[in-house]
Amino acid sequence: IYTQIGQWDAVSPLLKRYSVDYIIVGPAERAIFGAQIDQSVGDAASRGNLELVYQQDGVSIYHVGEPAD
């Protein structure tokens, strides 16, 4: 899911299938997926697919929304 978050059409069905409500991006995710994860998740948030609900000490938590039309 993290590697495809920029392609919302591909990720959205997986998020629904597994009932994912939140996506967490912190040091562990950046270590695995690289710093570009912030850009990918930020792009999804700017399109309205994710909503930033928490950000502190290098950890961001996003609520999963409905796909933007």
How many whole angstroms separate alpha carbon 13 and alpha carbon 22? 15
Question: Which pLDDT score, from 0 to 100, does residue 45 have?
Answer: 92
Dmax over CA atoms of the chain, in Å, equals: 33
pTM summary value: 0.86
How many whole angstroms separate alpha carbon 5 and alpha carbon 49? 10
Statement: residue 68 has pLDDT above 50: no
Statement: residue 66 has pLDDT above 50: yes
DSSP 23-42: EEESHHHHHHH-THHHHHHH
Statement: residue 8 has pLDDT above 50: yes
- The model's pLDDT over 35-62, given as tens digits with 9 standing for 90+, comes to 889 888 988 999 999 999 999 999 999 9
Q: How many CB atoms lie within 10 A of CB 23?
A: 22
Question: Which pLDDT score, from 0 to 100, does residue 3 have?
Answer: 81
